[in-house]
Structure formats: structure tokens, C-alpha cells
Structure 1
């Protein structure tokens, strides 16, 4: 790993922007699959990767969306075991039979595993998964008791107990 001098105040950049750029470069160095790297060398991005995921919920379901471009359906494994959802997959490096001289490989290849702890409000028996345009969408229905209930408000009616207490 190379030593880089940290200069907190550079002209043209705010203090926060300088700090953010430096932190980003530190995390990128640790995220590289090859470990320590001398300056000027390139790393081929072969190895494990972690697809980005968005998780959101509405009144009916919990939804996870994972970025999986280039991963075939048969290379995905989605399982629910107890309160855990696990998504496994592999993006394979496919080279043609002819010899190619790659000048740069930046896409990551290899296998990944993402696990998520599910909340008790999710019905693990009702799970569906679809893949469209490189995005895997996993939907988990909520249990009926976890869904919000609309309560009707009645106007102008006083409860019988309140009327009896008011007369006494």
C-alpha cells in the first residue's frame, strides 16, 4: 500500500469534499480483491463482488432489489431459512475461443452471497422473485396481522358508558 500525504486544505475544494475524496480512496483500496497494491499497477477485477441492493416496504410487502446484470437465472439461488433470506449467485467470465488481448477488465466476476434477516411481520411462505433488465426483485408478503387496518371514525355518536357516567 502506498503512503499518501493528506493535505486538509486544497484550493478549489471545500474541507468536506477533500475529506470525502480521501475516505473514498481509502475504502476503494481496502475493497480491492488483491490486497496491497504498488502505485501504477492495475488489478484485474476477478473475484468476489457484492451486488448493490435497495430494500423497501409498503403496507402489503417487503421488497429487495439487487443489481445482477450479466447473471443468468440458473446461476442464482434464493432461499428462505427461518428468518433469513439468502441470495447467492455467480457472474462467470465468458471468453470466446479466439484469443483476445484485454487491455482492461473492470467488471467484477465470481460468486456472491447476500443474507438478510427478515422481520417477524413477513410471511416467509409467500415469496416471489423476478429478474428484469439486470435487476432481481424479491417480494415477501406481510402477515395479515402486520398489515395496517383502517378504523372508521363515527361522528356525533357518544358511547353508552360516557352518557351513563355523565347522568350520575
Structure 2
């Protein structure tokens, strides 16, 4: 958080309030950025359909995103999920990952039957910094890790992504 040592307008009594609001906004943005183990967010990205789920708790999986220049490689941890229960949707600049975990257990003891059901899942919306070609994407799932490879619409060279080093004289 960058603190200013001066005020924008010393004659404006609301300037300090705007500064406080900016700091609060930054704190909230920092708090809600990144992976969440237990996500209580009920609203998705702008334009995404609002949907309440009653099956259980939805979490955001941990993801790594790599830019190889030619494609984006996304790996997501989805432990306890079967391949059949994973849905991946991709648009020009967004990846939607949803997976359900289903566990059912039946126990019999002295004539009584107890059924314990546990439904939960993972959900994540990932905005990509560049446009991709969704129809050429490939995904594979192995040992709880989902890997998605999405070709970029406009591939970039390493120098363009990382910048050029300038020699100091």
C-alpha cells in the first residue's frame, strides 16, 4: 500500500475521506484476490448468471497459470474429484472450472441404516490477460490435478512478455 505524504487538495475537506476510501478498497481487493479455501462468494463475474447452490460448500481450487508464449497452461488442484464430474468452459478470455465431489456412505448396525451424503465441489473463474482460441484447448486430469492448455490468439515472444533488458552505461 502506497502512502502519500501530501494531500491532493488542502482546501478540499473530503480529500482525506477519498484517501481513506482508496485504502479500504485496496485492503478489500487484496483480501479477495487469490485462492480461497472456503469461498462464500455468491456472485460471479459481471454478466455471469447468478446461481445459488444447496448441495454443499463450493471452494476455489488452487491454480497455477503459465504463459509459454504460444499458449496458456493452467493447472488446478481438484482432489477427490472424478474426471466425469469436471466441467471446463472457455471463452475468448475466460476459463470456467467446476467440479463436484460426491461421497456416499451407507452403514448398517443392528438393523438401523444410516446414510451419510456429502456433496461439495470446486469452482473457479479465471480471466486471462490475452485472447485465446477456445476450440483448440486441450485438458487432461491425473491424480487430482487438472491441466488445461489453451493456444493464444496472438502468440508472443519471451522478450515481449518479460521486457527487454536495458544496459546501464
How does the TM-score come out when normalised to structure 2? 0.50
Instruction: Judging by fraction of residues, say which structure has more strand.
Output: 2
The structure number with the bigger radius of gyration is 1
How does the TM-score come out when normalised to structure 1? 0.50
